[in-house]
Amino acid sequence: MGIFAGQNMKMKRQVHMHIEGVPNPNAMKFVLENGILADEAYEFCDYAQAEASPLARKLLMLRYVERVLIHDNFVTVLKFPQTPPSWDELLYEVKMLIQQHLEDNEPILYLGAQALKHQRSDELVAEIATNLLNHRIRPAAQEDGGDILFEGFRDGVLSLSMHGSCHGCPYMSETLSKGVEPLLMGALPEIKQVVIKK
């Protein structure tokens, strides 16, 4: 009898978590120290949308939770602004809910959730690409008497323009294929192609 009862019990998993505050006072980050939750960012803004995530559904059932982001090894929970109770009163309850879900080996995401993964807007991709360009690429070009400027991003295509010594440089295609493209496309999978505007 004991053997069969034991076989029906779910295997418990050891879960180590900690909580991190973030700049947004309405949000808290719950970090799993010994594992990965999701390889992409998935954000759920209401209970119906969270059909593909049992964990997000449990969290969104809490009356004070507005949205849930699951990514990498953390869950970010946002509560409704100016809504009691305070995070001081909620931290233990939310942490225990997440921890219990993981310890019981309950699913985090169902198959098909891929279609719901958090999509970055073209504007956000353009902003991140411009930032990378300004800090990682342009200084090297400027050192050689040239410059590389961001022109636009649309439908997966990032446009750049070459200036000064970079314009018409015989090494331009090599610079693009070995330096600029790997950096930008590696950081932003939304970029499918990098082109030089004439």
Question: What is the model's pTM?
Answer: 0.55
Q: Where in the chain is the domain with CATH 3.30.1370.70?
A: 2-116
User: What is the Cα–Cα distance from 163 to 176, expressed in whole angstroms?
Assistant: 14
Which DSSP helix (H) or strand (E) runs through 65?
strand 65-72
Best CA proximity match to 177, nearest among 159, 153, 194, 163: 194
CA 143 to chain CA centroid, Å, is 34
* Lowest-confidence pick of 33-47, 109-123, 183-197: 109-123
**Contact partners, residue 69, CB within 8 Å, separation at least 6:** 41, 42, 43, 44, 75, 76, 78, 118
Per the CB < 8 A criterion, the answer to whether 120 and 82 are in contact is: no
Express each pLDDT in 43-74 by its tens digit.
888 888 788 889 999 999 999 999 999 988 99
CATH 3.30.43.10 fits 2-116, yes or no: no
CATH class of 122-196: alpha beta
User: Residue type for 39, please?
Assistant: D
Confidence of residue 6 (pLDDT cuts 50, 70, 90): very low
Express each pLDDT in 72-84 by its tens digit.
899 999 999 877 8
Residue where the block lists tokens 């080996």: 105
User: What is the Cα–Cα distance from 46 to 52, expressed in whole angstroms?
Assistant: 12
Take residue 2 and report the two structure tokens written for it. 């004991």
Q: Where in the chain is the domain with CATH 3.30.300.130?
A: 122-196
